[in-house]
Amino acid sequence: MNCVIISIGDELLDGRTLDSNSAWLAGELGGLGIRVVECITVPDEPERIIRALRRGFDISEIVITTGGLGPTDDDLTRGALAEYLGVKLTRDNRVLDGIKEIFAGRGIIMPPNVAREALIPVGARPLKNSVGVAPGLFIPMNDSRLLIALPGVPPEMRAIFCEELAPLLLERGGGIRPNIESLFTVGIPESALFERVSRASSGFGTEGLAFYPSNIGVEVRIDTGAGDNNAAERLRLIREAVEPWRYSNSEKSLPAVVGGLLSRSGRTVSTAESCTGGLLSSRLVDVPGASDWFPGGIVSYSNEAKAEMLGVGRDILEKFGAVSPQVALSMASGAARLFGSTFALSTTGIAGPSGGTDEKPVGLVYYALHTPERTFVRRNRFTRGREDHRYRTSQSALAMLWLWLEGKYKDHPWEDGSREIEL
C-alpha cells in the first residue's frame, strides 16, 4: 500500500517551523509495510489543501494530513476535507463532551472557539487525542481508500498515531511488512562504514542497503526482502564488519544504551561540561530512570566555575588554558569527586564561530572519561557549527564510556579522527 503525507500550515513554508512530522510518520508507516511515495507541504488555504488531496489520491491508497485541526480561524483543514468529500461538517457531541472534560480537569473555562474542534466531516471517525484536545479523523472512502487527518503538534500527532491509528491500519492489512535490521553505529564516518560493509557483502551486492548519517552516528539499514535465501549469511557478514562501532540493533539512543549498562552493573556517571553547555546531561536525563545511575552534572562555562565548582587548579587554567587536555582531565576527576560517581565525563572546546587561534582552532575539543583506574582524554575537531559541535562532542564522550563499559575501549579501532592524549 502507498501513502501520501500532506503537511498543512503557513509556518512550514515561511521557515518558522520545521516539518518533523513527515519524517516520523514515514518511518512508522514503513514499519507497517506502508510505503510513503510523496510528501506535500501546503499553506492554510482550502483550495491548495484540496488540490493536494487530489494529487495524493491520484498516486496512493492512503492520504494522511497533519495540521490545521486547531480552534483558530486559520485552522481550515476540517472544512477543506469536507469540501473535498462533498459532505457537511457536523458536531460530534461525544467529542465535545470529551473536550469539556479536559478543560474541567484543568480547572479552566473552555473558550467558545474550542468547540469547533468537535466539528467533523460526516462519515469520519474521531481518533482520541490523549495528550491534547483536537481529535484525529479516520475517514474510510467508498473505494477502500483512506483519508486520515492528524493534528500538527508533534506529541499529539504521535500519540494518536501510536494509540489509535496504527492498530486500525494493521486491522486493514497494512502492506507487506519489510524484513529490516538496523545497526546503530558511533565513531566511524559514513564513507568508511560504507567501504567496510560493501566489502563484507560484496558477494551479495548492495541492494537493500541504506546508510543514514547524522551528528550522532550512522545507521545502517539492511532490507533482506522476502524470499532472500542468503539473508542470514549476508547479515552475519555485515554485523561482523560494523561490530566495533555497533552499539545497538534496536535502540538509537546511545544514552539509553549507556544507562542500561550502568543500571545493570550498579554503577553511576556524572558530567562536567563546558562547550556542550548541559547537552550531555540533558541527553542522559532524557532516559527514563536516569536518576538510578546519573547523580548530577555541572555546567562550568567560565574559568571561575571550573575552579570553584570542580576544583580545577587555577595554575592549570592559567598555564594550559580552559581548552586543554589537562583541564578536561581535571574537570572529569572533579565531577567524580563531587558527585561520588563511578565514572565521569567532561567536555571543553571551541564551538565557534569565533574564539579560535592558530594553536587552538575553532572546532577543537577535548573530552575525558574518568574511571576508577585512570582518566582518559581524547582530542578531536568538529567544524560544522556550534550545534553540530555540541552533539558530536556529547556523542563522542558517551562513546568513550560505552566502550569502557563493554570492555572494548583499549583495543578499539578508532575511526573518528580522535586521538588519545597521554598526560
Mean pLDDT value across residues 319-344: 98
CA distance 337 to 377: 17
Q: What structural domains does the chain harbor?
A: 2-171 (3.40.980.10), 180-248 (3.30.70.2860), 254-420 (3.90.950.20)
Higher pLDDT, 230 or 299: 299
Higher pLDDT, 115 or 175: 115
Task: State the pLDDT at residue 228.
Answer: 60
Q: Are 328 and 377 in contact (CB under 8 A)?
A: yes
The DSSP output letter for 122 is T
For 60, 97, 133, 317, the CA distances from 357, given in Å and listed in that order, are: 56, 64, 53, 17
The tens digit of pLDDT for each residue in 111-134 reads 999 999 999 999 999 999 999 999
Beta-sheet strand order (sheet of 364-370)? 297-299, 269-273, 343-349, 364-370, 375-381, 419-420
The reported pTM is 0.82
CA distance 365 to 294: 23
Q: What is the mean pLDDT of the chain?
A: 93
Closest CA to 8 of 148, 155, 162, 163: 148
Task: State the pLDDT at residue 358.
Answer: 92
Q: How confident is the model at residue 176 (pLDDT cuts 50, 70, 90)?
A: low
Whether residue 143 has pLDDT greater than 80: no
Whether residue 32 has pLDDT greater than 90: no
Alpha-carbon Rg for the chain in angstroms: 26
Which of 109-113, 159-163, 263-267, 398-402 has the lowest average pLDDT? Answer: 109-113
Whether residue 410 has pLDDT greater than 70: yes
Whether residue 208 has pLDDT greater than 80: no
Which of 134-148, 169-183, 212-226, 251-265 has the lowest average pLDDT? Answer: 169-183
Closest CA to 332 of 356, 303, 298: 298
Place of cell 514499519: 31
The tens digit of pLDDT for each residue in 80-107 reads 999 999 999 999 999 999 999 999 998 9
Mean pLDDT value across residues 3-10: 97
Instruction: Check the CA dihedral 193-198-204-207 and report its sign.
Output: positive
Q: How confident is the model at residue 227 (pLDDT cuts 50, 70, 90)?
A: low
Mean pLDDT value across residues 351-357: 92
